[in-house]
């Protein structure tokens, strides 16, 4: 295979990897703050993509549609936290995780009833000819995907260095101590679901011009982003970004060098290996216990 073909595979992997990374960070934010593994995370991407695509197809401006799609996902995350997660917090965490699976199914079914089974389209963010680098073609949507994702990743790192970010980390480490200094974990849970849903919705609106928007797109996006989060560590947002990029590149090179039939399988093989070899992730922090 030529160098240009390998570079093309790299661009493809970087694009989808950035999407996985955004959704994976949503997993990490929710899990770090609440201890809940929200398996409905991928559906925020689907709702964001479908909302943006349907509005744009009905005449709304592109950027208005993108913002509305992201906002719809945020609203869905808030409703989920208030109506489902908060009332269930008194039961064990495993039951809450099972509840999020139920929410995932409900959202997907509602999306099918609202938008139907046919894919919707969203225009690319820039209507320009693609770039040509080293014999490979770089689509402008790829540039937008990497740029927008990068901005949000940098903003997230900056946030965790602010007072509010340190308050979030304090609440994660010790909820009781956080309450004693005036930090309300319940409020942090609200913001965690809003932020994670927003990240998912944004990811959906970014990927929709490339793949289209379908009612069931959140299933695979969520599963692969979960693999990315596990690879990096469910308590380490920057590492989840690296995990997302790794999954995207692994998929692209598997499809290009072996066969596209194996691109999904290789992702879940990696998940199984990680769970067996290093469940805390490549960069995850393991908990210690004094004996």
Q: What is the pLDDT of residues 49-92, one digit of tens each?
A: 999 999 999 999 999 999 999 999 999 999 999 999 988 877 88
Q: The pTM is what?
A: 0.90
What is the pLDDT averaged over residues 189-195? Answer: 90
d(CA 21, CA 243): 7
Rounded to whole angstroms, the Cα distance separating 244 from 281 reads: 13
pLDDT tens string 118-140: 999 999 999 888 888 888 888 89
Angle at alpha carbon of residue 58, lines to 53 and 60, rounded to 5°: 80
Place of tokens 């689509």: 139
Beta bridge partners of 133: 136
Which carries the bigger pLDDT value, residue 255 or residue 235? 255
Q: Does domain 3-277 have CATH number 1.10.3470.10?
A: yes
pLDDT over threshold 70, residue 175: no
Give the model's confidence band at 291: pLDDT under 50 very low, under 70 low, under 90 confident, else very high.
very low
The answer to whether the beta carbons of residues 122 and 52 sit under 8 Å apart is: yes
Contacts of 50 (CB under 8 A, 6+ apart): 69, 111, 114, 115, 120, 204, 213, 214, 215
């Amino acid at each position: 295979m030529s160098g240009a073909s390998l570079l093309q595979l790299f661009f493809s992997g970087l694009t989808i990897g950035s999407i996985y990374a955004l959704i994976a960070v949503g997993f990490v934010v929710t899990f770090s703050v609440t201890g809940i593994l929200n398996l409905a995370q991928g559906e925020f991407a689907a709702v964001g993509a479908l909302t943006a695509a349907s509005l744009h197809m009905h005449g709304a401006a592109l950027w208005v549609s993108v913002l509305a799609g992201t906002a719809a996902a945020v609203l869905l995350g808030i409703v989920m936290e208030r109506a489902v997660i908060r009332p269930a917090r008194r039961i064990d965490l495993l039951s809450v995780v099972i509840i999020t699976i139920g929410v995932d199914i409900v959202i997907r079914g509602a999306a099918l009833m609202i938008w139907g089974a046919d894919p919707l389209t969203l225009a690319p963010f820039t209507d320009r000819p693609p770039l040509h680098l080293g014999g490979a073609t770089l689509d402008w949507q790829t540039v937008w995907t990497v740029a927008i994702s990068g901005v949000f990743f940098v903003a997230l790192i900056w946030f965790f260095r602010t007072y509010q970010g340190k308050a979030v980390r304090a609440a994660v480490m010790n909820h009781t101590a956080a309450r004693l200094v005036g930090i309300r974990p319940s409020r942090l849970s609200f913001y965690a679901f809003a932020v994670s849903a927003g990240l998912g919705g944004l990811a959906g609106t970014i990927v929709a011009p490339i793949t289209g928007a379908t009612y069931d797109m959140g299933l695979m996006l969520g599963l692969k982003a979960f693999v990315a989060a596990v690879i990096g560590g469910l308590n380490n947002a920057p590492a989840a970004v690296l995990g997302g990029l790794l999954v995207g590149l692994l998929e692209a090179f598997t499809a290009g060098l072996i066969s596209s039939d194996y691109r999904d399988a290789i992702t879940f093989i990696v998940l199984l290996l990680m769970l067996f070899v290093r469940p805390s992730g490549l960069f995850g922090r393991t908990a210690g216990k004094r004996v």
